[in-house]
Each structure stands twice: as C-alpha cells, then as structure tokens.
Amino acid sequence: TMFLSIFCSDSSIQTVSGNFFFLCLFIHWFDIYSYYELIICIFLQLLFYSFFSFVSPFTLKGAGGWSPLVSNKYQWLQIDLGERTEITAVATQGGYGSSDWVTSYLLMFSDRGMSGHRAFSGNTNADSVVHNKLQHSIKARFLRFVPLDWNPNGRIGMRIEVYGCTYRSEVADFDGKSCLLYRFNQKSMTALKDVISLKFKTMQSDGILLHRGGQNGDHITLELVKGKLSLFINLGDAKIHSANITLGSLLDDQHWHSVLIEHFNNQVNFTVDKHSHHFHAKGELNYLDLDYEVFGGIPVPGKSGTLPRKNFHGCFENLYYNGVNIIDLAKRRKPQIYIMGNMSFSCSEAQMVPVTFLSSSSYLALPGTSGQDEVSISFQFRTWNKEGLLLSTKLHQTSGGLLLYLSDGKVKMSTYKPGKAQSVGLNNGQWHSVSLSAKRSRMSLMVDNDVTSSAHAAVPTHIYSGDTYYFGGCPNNGNSSECKSPFAGFQGCMRLITIGSKAVDLISVQKNSLGNFSNLQIDLCGIIDRCLPNYCEHGGECTQAWNSFYCNCTNTDYMGATCHYSIYEQSCEAYKHTGNTSGFYYIDSDGSGPLGPFLVYCNMTVIQHNNTDLTRVKNANRENPHTVFFKYTATLEQLQATINYAEHCEQELAYHCKKSRLLNKRGKKLVIPPCCVSSTSLSRMTVKS
C-alpha cells in the first residue's frame, strides 16, 4: 500500500492510502534518457461532499475527482510527493460524468511553503484532457492546484496527472557561522579556466556564498547583498577596483536559485536564474593564482578588509567546481575539504508562513487581548508601494485608535492623527521588521531592530488594548468605529506577526479557525520585481509599485514610457523644417537606437573636426608621406548614420602648393562626393606634395 499526503483548503491534513483512491505509479525505461523516468499518475477518485468542521473530519464518498462543496477562490488541492521530484508536465480533466471543471488554475510548488507559481489554461468540459508541458522543469516536493475560474454552470472539479522523474541531489546547510574550505591539490593553482555551479536558497538578504583568494591580490567573491547577487573579481591588480556585476532580485525568498560562473582568461560569464552577463575581468593577469576556495563565508576575520563579514545562512545544492562535487567530498570527509562550524547535509526548513495582500481592499483581522494596559505587536513586511495602511485598531475604553502606516516610504504611527515618521526608503522590496509597544500613556516604535530608528510618543490618556487588530486594510462593510483608515490599503507581504508574546498561526487563519480575512494569499509572498529585466532604455532609472513600473528619463536625452524616443532630431534638415535657423544643435542620427546624440553646427549639416587650420607640409615624398588625422566631435558610427540619412553629403579638402606641376593656380579645393566617404576617408587622410 502506498501513501500520499493530500492537503485541502477546507480540511486538516489527510493521509489517504491506496484503499481509498487509485494511485498509478509507473516506472518507464526510455532509451532516449540515461535515467528512469517516474510517471506519477494521480487519479484522484475522491469526491468531497462535506467540508471541515471542528466536530467531524472529511468524509470521502463516491468517485469522479476532487470537487469541494463550496466553489470560491480560496479552494486548493495540495499534493505531497514525499520528496523533491523533477516535474516536467501536468494534465487536468473535469469531474467524471459531471458539469464540474476548471477553466484556469494556478500551479504552486515548493519544498514547504508555496514560493513559486505558474498559471495554466484548464478544461472546457469534463471529459477532455488538457496537457501543460512546463517550459522549464521544476524541482519540488509539494504541488498545489489553485482554481482561478471554473464552469459557471457547475462547480470546481479536477482530475490530475503529474509527470516527472526522480531527482537526486547533494545538499549542505550553513547556519550563518559555518563555512566549507576546499584546498586545491597543488599548493597554488593557476586557473586559466574554471566553472562554478550551484543552487542556493535562503531567507537572509545578505551573506557571502563563496570567496577565493591568491597571493597576488587576485580574488573572486560571490555575495548576496539586499537580495541580489554581486560578483566581485580581480585578476591581480590591487591598484584598481574589482569588477562588480549584480544580477537577480528578491533572492531571499526561500526558493531555489541557480548560479553559474564561467571564467576563461579574463572573460567571465555570470548567470543567475537564466539571466546572464558577459564581461572582461580587470587586472594585470589573465588567470587566477589561487590557493583555496571557501564556500559559505570568509573563515579568517580580517582576511579581506574590503568584504563584509556576514556569512551565508541557508542551503547549497549540487555545488560543483570544475566538475568536482564539493558536497560529496565533504560528506566523505576527503582531506582536501575542511569544515568550519556547524554544517549539516540536509536542508532545514524554517517554519515561516508569509501572507500576500493582493489589493488595496485586502485585510487581515486578528483577535486582540482586550482591556490590557499594554500593547505589543511586531511583524515583518516587504513592498514596493510608498503608501499603505499597516495596522489599525480601536483602543479599549477610549474613543481613540492606533494607526501604523507607510507614508512616502516611511513608517508612521499615530492615534488617528498625523503621526511621527521613522526610517526612510522602506518601499525597496526588502523585508523590514516593525515593533510597536505601548504602555499606559507612552508609545514606542522601532524599525529593523535599530535603536537609532526608533520613535516615541506620549498620549494624553492611558492606553488599553482593543478587541481586534486589522492588518493591511479595513473591511469595506465593517464598522467604521472598529477600523479607521484615511490611507489606501497595503499591497505587499507580511510574516512573523506576533500579538502580545504569542505568534499568530497563519495556517489557522487559512483554515478559517482564527480571525478573518479578505483577498489574501496565505503561505505565499507574491512580490515581483518588475524592474528585472529593466525595460527602461538609454540609462533610464526604473522604479516600481505593486502593479506597475515607471521609467525616470531625466538626464537621458530620451522620453516616453520606457525612454525610447530621442528628444533631439535626427538631422539638421529636420530642424530646418521646424523653422530653426543655422546654429549649434544636438542631433541623434539613429533616433531611438543605441548611438547617443552629439553636437553639430547646422548649416545644412556641418560636422566639425580638429584640423580646419592650414598645416604646413615639409619634405613629404612618396616614401615618407605627410599624414593628417581628423578627429570629429562624433564617432565613426554616428558619422556613418548621418550620411545614411542625408540626401547629399560632401567633404572638402583644400591644399595650397608652390611651383606645383599639378596646378596653374595657387590653391585648389577637392570635393569628396558621397560615394567616396568611407570609414578610411572619414578617419584619416594622407596628403602628398
């Protein structure tokens, strides 16, 4: 008998054996693959006619698929595959012999919480099978199917197949104080070419993933900084700053992220989650003269004074250096591996449940400790929005209330009046902690556990805790005296909510056994970095809110939603048509292309260079010609683009001769027609006398 854990949105966890439903588990050997492909065919023959209550559990009746009694957006079906599995495709079908099917659904996946998600089209009837092959396979233990839309003349109904294969990996868990040192076989190794690949996941926004150093000052460091990965590399020149390339965003989401670093001579390819950057490393050498490689941190304090000291806290998976499985060597206690601190070979899962406030109408109402003369609340949040209500509550035995809100990226607190601001720039997408305490007639607020970022206020009356705390917003039809908010609702994520000294169990909230909520996603932080990739062109600065992004085109010489259109004309002819007279103008010869604008004098179009004065030529002959270089205010590419757009173009060359057999007159001008203007003639001209 095989066991599979099934989680449902309106029930406690149910472990259902093969006696209750038909589970097909096929092992297929394919010649095309070098491994077994595991096809997990889960035919759920369960029809749920009752929902969870505190009196009785689920009852399983009939056949035909999963169909909850209540069809709404809060229903979901979660499958525990027992271990991490590589999923390649899913297929769905409606309920057997019914009018119940799902037209679209969200597939969520993770090793514990629901960090990742993808949307798919569903069925149009109960019988046809809709296959959705994943463009990139996912590795996860848990799958959750969340119906988004369903047949309006029926209910939610699903039969599911999941396709994938077994997945094996080597993992290592770093506790923030440990690291792993890999010594090369030789005392010093000269690396002309090396490749480092790994996967990592963490909840911390900062930490050093790897560091390598040599005797000549050459080094390479991979560091997590504010949820982004920065690669520092120097090829042995202490006089110059190391190359610093940053990729990724929101990488502290407790989800697996892949990293690939390829180094050959001074060329480096850096890839994070399929986002790549290619560059040349700085330094005198074209190789790294290495002694060792450290993963998870810097073991010796003061080894490199320019690097942060915070070690990595999280998990590595499949860590390879030039094809060598580093974690496997560590597990087998090989002599070239040295472990410092407490490092384990299983990935611990932090039991931390986030909640996403999807819109300005979202809210979470939690019971308070009514009538106590002390209020203590703490939580963490992350958002892109500058404004939004964080907390509202009516204080007991008074007509006043307590507000905590974001204003211009600052946390403010008040008693239904304009409040004091604390800290700045908190709408940067990072997790920030907030601690609010009030006792008698004094309130205190601390942000990010920083004493310097604390604020205090005195109120004229004693403070007593209220009945209900509203996080993120107020109910639209609620009692206005219970929840007041002159601000828009909060859009973002929260976690680690505590009231008094008790942590709030958000899973109980999800099961409707604690508090109340509207338009939330529980066990998921759905924040997205809309500035990755950056759609702002020509150096425009990308800023974002929860549902949109904006491009600041200031000082870029371009305009438009994405700084695409040049503010300058493409030629002097265009300026002429708008009524402008001769003078100096900036022209952008390729319009919205990559070439920038440059200054010209418009008399038609005259592009100046540095050699308009007469130059005396002495003793020039065929063997030793006199060479003159012309340096224009525009680049060669800009000149060529200008010529391409012109109807007529010419360049004059004047020379004056004495007793010349070429001329009867003292001076002569040569006109170079457009067909003669080439890369050579534009950049250099040779004059012989």
Confidence of residue 10 (pLDDT cuts 50, 70, 90): low
Residue 618's pLDDT is what? 74
Residue 477's pLDDT is what? 67
Residue 554's pLDDT is what? 94
d(CA 350, CA 176): 14
Tokens of 459: 């109120």
Q: Is 664 exposed, middle or buried (0-12, 13-18, 19+ CB in 10 A)?
A: exposed
Q: Can you tell me the mean pLDDT for 360-382?
A: 88
Phi, psi (degrees; rounded to nearest 5) at 142 = -110, 140
For CA atoms 318, 323, 326, 328, the dihedral sign is positive
Q: Which of 237-241, 477-481, 575-579 has the lowest mean pLDDT?
A: 477-481
Q: Can you tell me the mean pLDDT for 477-492?
A: 76
Taking 90 as the threshold, does the pLDDT of residue 642 lie above it?
Answer: no
Counting residues of the chain whose pLDDT is more than 90, the rounded percentage is: 35
Q: Can you tell me the mean pLDDT for 414-442?
A: 77
Residue 116's pLDDT is what? 61
* Share in percent of the chain as helix, strand, coil (round to 5): 5, 45, 50
What pairing do the DSSP bridges indicate for beta strands 292-295 and 207-213? Answer: antiparallel
Q: What is the DSSP string of 251-287?
A: --SSS-EEEEEEEETTEEEEEETTEEEEEE-BSS-SS
Cβ neighbours of 253 (radius 10 Å): 23
Q: Between 261 and 579, name the one with better pLDDT.
A: 261
Phi, psi (degrees; rounded to nearest 5) at 649 = -145, 140
State pLDDT tens for residues 204-215: 999 999 988 766
Q: Which domains does the chain have, with CATH numbers?
A: 3-166 (2.60.120.260), 171-344 (2.60.120.200), 355-522 (2.60.120.200), 568-689 (no CATH)
State pLDDT tens for residues 295-339: 888 765 544 444 457 899 999 999 999 899 999 999 999 988 999
Asked if 43 contacts 25 with a C-beta cutoff of 8 angstroms, the reply is: no
Beta bridge partner(s), residue 40? 25, 162
State pLDDT tens for residues 668-680: 555 554 433 433 3
State pLDDT tens for residues 65-122: 888 888 988 888 988 888 889 999 999 999 888 899 999 999 988 887 555 667 778 8
Buried b / exposed e over 109-120, threshold 16 CB at 10 Å, is bbbbbbbbeeeb
d(CA 365, CA 123): 36
Confidence of residue 391 (pLDDT cuts 50, 70, 90): very high
d(CA 383, CA 357): 10
Beta bridge partner(s), residue 78? 7, 144
pTM of the model: 0.73
Quick one: which of 614, 611, 617, 686 has its CA closest to 658? 617
Residue 257's pLDDT is what? 94
Residue 8's pLDDT is what? 58
State pLDDT tens for residues 546-581: 999 999 999 999 999 999 999 999 988 889 888 888
Q: Which residues contact 680 (CB under 8 A, 6 or more apart)?
A: none
Residue 678's pLDDT is what? 39
Tokens of 236: 């042995």
